[in-house]
Chain A
Amino acid sequence: MRAETLRGHLDFLLLAIVAVEPAHGYRIIEELKRRSAGAFDLPEGTVYPALHRLEQSGLLASSWASGSGRRRRVYRLTARGRRALAGARREWRGFTDAVEAVVA
């Protein structure tokens, strides 16, 4: 998939992944690839600016977590992020239903 097409939906996808459970950046990116069967494959480093921005907007929160002798930044969804995700899901379903109705 073209990077620019994916980028328009990246926030929604990241929120959806973190909603399942808190995760660090590498895990989030791997989850994004795994769930999309490799279709969503961005330069990995470009996901981190989006994570920082979502945190700046109050949709994600993060903290350092230690384990296996290393510190990792773990992201989790905030209450505001949960509401934003619910809204984005509704909007996405409405859009895909409408597109499906036209092209089917």
Chain B
Amino acid sequence: MSPSYLSELDAELRAVGIRGSRHRRILAETADHLRESGDAAGFGEPKLIAARFADELATNGARRVGFASFLALAPAGLAYAVLVGLVRTWPDIASARLLPLALATAVVFVLAPQVAFAAGLLAVARAWRLRSQTAAPAAEVVVLRRRAAVALGSGAVALAAIAVFAYEYGSGLPGWWSPTAFAVSVAAFVPIGGAAVALARNGQLRPQAAGAAGDVFDDLAPLLDRIPLRLRGRPWRFCLLVAAAIAAAAFIAGGPEEGPRNAVAEFVAVCAAFAALGRFLGLRR
């Protein structure tokens, strides 16, 4: 066994963010292996081994978190749809206890679930694309983590908005709505919190593999490459197409009275979100 090899591996593992029980276990397994083989050179350079651990565990873990984040958001999405769907008449916007807070909450109440859904879908798309890779480029892993983080964060904010909305407009809503909204918000937060913990743990790893992060055209290639609009490499064209589709859906759902206003609002919101988060989430380079 080589104590200097182990101390070097110890330092390299710490450098790539591997600590705690996994760190101790890797050193114990390595020590056992070297006792048996007596050949530290055949084991590989400590830097290479540590980087390989970080690359493989970060890729695999981030991919799992990507899928788990979307699943964790499902109860919140279902609760949101049911709570919103069962309200026949919405309270007057000015009837809030504290109007500025209520207005801000109403905006978040509408936008946060959409951001959570979009970021969650993008996380799943990236996780799916990386499904056969054992060690993806670090930049790919970072984008996947960001998408999962934005999805989970927006989901948590949406749940908080439901609770605040229920408090602000409780008097104008059916009697069962507010207590149900509070209970559902707390319950739906549990899986989101669990996924957030897994994401935070994965975030401690610092993968080393070189390579580009890719963009949305790589993630959705099987779908986007079929659309004859030459979207690849033209992210804003893609953004306008998505915004137009969502605006059309909002127009149809809103009917003649609210449809035009909702369509414009959705179109602007999608473009604004794309401008604000596009690079961060790897939608454009």
Identify the A interface with B (CB < 8 A). Answer: 7, 10-11, 24-26, 29, 43-46, 48-50, 52-53, 56-57, 70-73
- Can you sample 20 A-B contacts with CB below 8 Å? A11-B134, A24-B32, A25-B32, A45-B33, A45-B44, A46-B49, A46-B52, A48-B26, A48-B29, A48-B49, A49-B52, A49-B53, A49-B55, A50-B56, A52-B56, A52-B57, A71-B28, A72-B29, A72-B32, A73-B29
B60 touches A (CB below 8 Å):
yes
CB distance from B66 to the nearest CB of A (A): 14
Complex alpha-carbon distance, A34 and B12, angstroms: 31
Q: Is the CB of A53 within 8 A of B49?
A: no
Which chain A residues lie closer than 8 Å to B39 at the CB level? 44
Complex alpha-carbon distance, A25 and B27, angstroms: 13
Q: Is the CB of A44 within 8 A of B44?
A: yes
Q: Is the CB of A25 within 8 A of B61?
A: no
Chain B: number of interface residues, binned into ranges: 20 to 34
Q: Is the CB of A49 within 8 A of B49?
A: yes
**Contact A43/B37 with A52-B53, A53-B57 known, Cβ cut-off 8 Å:** no
B30 touches A (CB below 8 Å):
yes
B contact patch SS: helix
Identify the B interface with A (CB < 8 A). Answer: 22, 25-26, 28-30, 32-33, 35-37, 39, 42-45, 48-49, 52-53, 55-57, 60-61, 64, 134
Which chain B residues lie closer than 8 Å to A7 at the CB level? 134
Which chain A residues lie closer than 8 Å to B26 at the CB level? 48, 52
Complex alpha-carbon distance, A87 and B184, angstroms: 41
Q: Is the CB of B53 within 8 A of A48?
A: yes
Complex alpha-carbon distance, A7 and B56, angstroms: 12
Which chain A residues lie closer than 8 Å to B37 at the CB level? 26, 44
For A25, A49, A52, which residue has the most chain B Cβ atoms within 10 angstroms? Answer: A49
CB distance from B72 to the nearest CB of A (A): 18
Complex alpha-carbon distance, A10 and B135, angstroms: 13
Interface contacts beyond A50-B134, A72-B29, A73-B32: sample of 14 additional A-B pairs, CB < 8 Å, sorted by A: A7-B134, A10-B134, A26-B37, A43-B49, A44-B33, A45-B33, A45-B44, A48-B26, A48-B30, A48-B33, A53-B56, A56-B57, A56-B64, A73-B25
Complex alpha-carbon distance, A91 and B169, angstroms: 58
The 7 closest A-B pairs by CB, nearest first: A43-B44, A45-B44, A45-B49, A45-B43, A49-B56, A49-B52, A53-B56
Which chain A residues lie closer than 8 Å to B55 at the CB level? 49
Complex alpha-carbon distance, A50 and B36, angstroms: 20
Which chain B residues lie closer than 8 Å to A26 at the CB level? 32-33, 36-37
CB distance from A62 to the nearest CB of B (A): 9
Which chain A residues lie closer than 8 Å to B35 at the CB level? 70
Residue of B nearest to A29 (CB): B33
- Contact partner, A44, options B22, B25, B42, B57, Cβ 8 Å: B42
CB distance from A65 to the nearest CB of B (A): 11
Q: Is the CB of A56 within 8 A of B29?
A: no
Q: Is the CB of B57 within 8 A of A25?
A: no
Complex alpha-carbon distance, A25 and B44, angstroms: 15
CB distance from A97 to the nearest CB of B (A): 22
Which chain B residues lie closer than 8 Å to A72 at the CB level? 29, 32
Complex alpha-carbon distance, A71 and B27, angstroms: 12
CB distance from A53 to the nearest CB of B (A): 4
Which chain A residues lie closer than 8 Å to B64 at the CB level? 56-57
Complex alpha-carbon distance, A43 and B53, angstroms: 13
CB distance from A83 to the nearest CB of B (A): 17
